[in-house]
């Protein structure tokens, strides 16, 4: 392996799945102004090595100054990872990332298609938000590890950032923003509008908006977008063909859009305009500007910050969850579905309870995975 420049910027990608793969493949095709080295961390070292190897070939073909390597990883703080790393301050101090991207969680978004069960039926009935504690478990450990071992590093979260980032903020843990979700939709709108670019396009949207809006007429049912400060008409029509893409393809687009953002953040681009989920610990996604270590919203004049937050909070209820003031609450649909199995969880919980709540959801998931998907809640309760 060729030597890496000592002054190369360091991006660490935690995860070896689809999002990590699309992110690294896209990073390999970017021409940054300074060299970048990417370290892939994954529990499955073979998967991480394969990902890094394929990305290295892509970087070679395109002639980019981006190098890739892989190391084993354990999510357990204080564990002995051998020659690898753990989710603790000591490992982060050794890694010294400029940007760390969490591209993994304890709950795959593809489980319903790959391994349907009563658990995936519960997610379908309650909404994706019911998995919040499982989405937050790893990234919360990474955020705490960075705070203790590499406090100058930037954390970018790819695990349900619309709801997880507000949870992290309630725990006094920092994530600059997320990738995917509104960023994916903004990229699709940018393409549909003839590529005006993220500086001209501002998008307000939530993870829930990855799906087409229903017929309920709710004013939070669809993404809101502005081009040069003017509302974009027929957003639903513009996004229709992109929403029709298979979900893995949309996930690949999330990684591609995320790679452009991560490269800009890692190399110190003076100003980055984007629409991203979870900036400033806010729920949902917003148009933002990153300048000199500062994050500011780029909302149109007619929308206040309070209005944008309230709109995204309401949109998040379509996902079956609401995070605010450090509390996690489930709207009626999610509460009813969860009450059939765990009434104690259905009442909601506080951010400070995350480790315990994640354990309870893990136990519930492990049990429901053994129940066939066609079996009803009533049958299961007998």
Partner residues linked to 73 by β-bridges: 85
The neighbour count for residue 325, using CB atoms within 10 Å, is 9
pLDDT band at 199 (very low <50, low <70, confident <90, very high): very high
The Cα 283–Cα 245 span in angstroms is 26
Q: Which residue has the tokens 């309920």?
A: 216
Residue given tokens 């938000």 in the structure block: 129
**What's the start-to-end Cα distance of the chain, in Å?**
60
- pLDDT reported for residue 214: 78
What's this model's pTM, rounded to 2 decimal places?
Answer: 0.93
pLDDT tens readout for residues 78-91 = 666 677 899 999 99
How does the average pLDDT of the chain come out, rounded?
93
DSSP 1: -
Share of the chain above pLDDT 70, in %: 94
Classify 115 as helix, strand or coil.
coil
**C-alpha closest to that of 136 among 331, 326, 289, 355:** 355
- Which pLDDT does position 239 carry in this prediction? 97
Residue 207: CB atoms within 10 Å: 30
pLDDT bracket for residue 324 (50, 70, 90): very high
Which pLDDT band holds residue 217 (cuts at 50, 70, 90)? low
Show contacts of 325-332: CB within 8 Å, 24+ apart: 325/170, 326/170, 326/350, 326/351, 326/352, 327/351, 328/132, 328/133, 328/167, 330/126, 330/129, 330/130
More confident residue, 126 or 217: 126
The pLDDT of 285-302, averaged and rounded, is: 95
**Res 1: pLDDT:** 31
Per-residue confidence at 282, pLDDT binned at 50, 70, 90? very high
CB-based contact 7:94 (threshold 8 Å): no
Which pLDDT does position 216 carry in this prediction? 67
Least Cα distance to 177 among 155, 199, 195 occurs for 155
- Residue 120 CB partners (closer than 8 Å, separation 6+): 111, 112, 373
- Of the candidates 174, 207, 183, which has an alpha carbon nearest to the alpha carbon of residue 295? 174
Determine the pLDDT at residue 170: 97
Residue 7 has pLDDT above 80, yes or no: no
SS3 content of the chain, % helix, strand, coil (to 5): 45, 20, 35
41, β-bridge pairs: 14, 71
pLDDT category of residue 4 using cuts at 50, 70 and 90: very low
**272 pLDDT above the threshold of 80:** yes
């Amino acid at each position: 392996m060729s030597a890496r420049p000592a002054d190369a910027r360091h991006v660490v990608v935690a995860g070896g799945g689809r999002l990590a793969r699309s992110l690294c493949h896209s990073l390999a095709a970017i021409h940054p102004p300074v060299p970048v080295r990417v370290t892939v961390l994954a529990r499955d070292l073979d998967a991480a090595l394969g990902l890094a190897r394929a990305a290295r070939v892509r970087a070679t073909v395109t002639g980019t100054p981006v190098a890739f390597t892989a190391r084993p990883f354990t999510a357990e703080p204080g564990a002995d990872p051998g020659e690898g790393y753990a989710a603790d301050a000591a490992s982060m101090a050794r890694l010294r990332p400029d940007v760390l991207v969490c591209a993994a969680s304890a709950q795959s978004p593809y489980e319903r298609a790959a391994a349907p069960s009563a658990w995936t039926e519960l997610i379908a009935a309650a909404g994706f938000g019911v998995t919040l504690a499982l989405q937050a478990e790893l990234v919360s450990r990474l955020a705490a590890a960075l705070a203790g071992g590499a406090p100058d590093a930037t954390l970018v979260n790819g695990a349900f950032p619309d709801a997880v980032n507000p949870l992290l903020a309630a725990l006094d843990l920092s994530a600059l923003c997320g990738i995917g979700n509104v960023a994916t939709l903004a990229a699709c709108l940018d393409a549909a509008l003839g590529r005006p670019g993220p500086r001209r396009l501002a998008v307000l949207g939530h993870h829930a908006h990855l799906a087409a809006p229903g017929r309920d007429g709710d004013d939070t049912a669809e993404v809101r977008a502005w081009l040069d400060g003017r509302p974009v008409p027929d957003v639903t029509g513009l996004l229709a063909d992109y929403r029709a893409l298979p979900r893995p393809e949309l996930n690949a687009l999330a990684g591609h859009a995320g790679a452009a953002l991560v490269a800009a953040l890692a190399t110190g681009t003076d100003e980055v305009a984007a629409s991203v989920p979870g900036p400033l610990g806010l729920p949902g996604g917003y148009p933002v500007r990153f300048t000199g270590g500062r994050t500011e919203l780029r909302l149109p004049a007619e929308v206040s910050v309070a209005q944008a937050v309230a709109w995204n909070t309401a949109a998040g209820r379509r996902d079956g969850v609401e995070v605010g003031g450090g509390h996690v609450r489930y709207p009626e649909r999610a509460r009813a579905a969860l009450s059939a199995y765990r009434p104690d969880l259905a009442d909601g919980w506080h951010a400070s309870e995350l480790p315990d709540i994640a354990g309870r959801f893990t136990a519930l998931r492990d049990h429901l995975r053994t129940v066939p998907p066609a079996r009803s809640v009533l049958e299961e309760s007998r």
